[in-house]
Amino acid sequence: MAYPREMGFLIENCRSGALVLAFEDAIFHAKFVVKTQEILRRIGPQGDGADKLRSEMETSLEKSITLVKTMVKEAPENVKRHFGEMFFAMTPGALSNTMNFLVDLSMVKNWVLDGHPLPFNVERPGGEARTKGGRSKGKPPNTRRPLVVVILLLIIFLAVEPPTSLLGWILMFFAIGTIGFVLFSQKTD
């Protein structure tokens, strides 16, 4: 990580509910910028779709910078000045620093995508709190999709070859129940 001190400040500063969302948006846009930059390097400036990718990357870059500015807006003056000189100044060095900082933010997004939690456990807008697995507390898991799959399997089994014996019915319901159990247990972990 190129800027651990600055990243540490953002994480500490974003423990309040409103800034958590800004941090999550910033790491999302940072990852997009970093991945798009890699793609543009690979396909070259004249590659197919390069202009559109470059345009979308610039939009995400602006959003990332705006979000980081939002996160340091209420910080002490020396911190705001430091972030301003390091990342927000209109100099080639600041742009290079910003791109490296976006790589750091992208690493945080990768951390989250790998299933690790952010160090935030605060109330979110709507009264929900994120837990270790990333799911909100107090909100039941979405069991609708596995239920639909189980019902569709039952219909398919009955339409293709309905059981003709009691043993056939038992085996069909056992197979569907096993599939349903696997699907439900994956959704609720």
Q: Is the dihedral angle over the CA atoms 127, 128, 130, 131 positive or is it negative?
A: positive
Tell me how crowded residue 119 is: count the other CB atoms within 10 A of its CB: 9
Which phi-psi region, left, alpha or beta, contains residue 148 (left: φ > 0; alpha: ψ -120 to 50)? alpha
User: pLDDT, tens digit, for every residue of 125-164?
Assistant: 444 444 444 444 444 455 566 667 767 777 776 777 777 8
The per-residue pLDDT for 48 is: 82
Identify the segments of the chain with pLDDT beneath 70.
Answer: 16-17, 119-147, 150, 157, 183-189
* CB neighbour list of residue 28: distance below 8 Å, 6 or more residues apart: 109
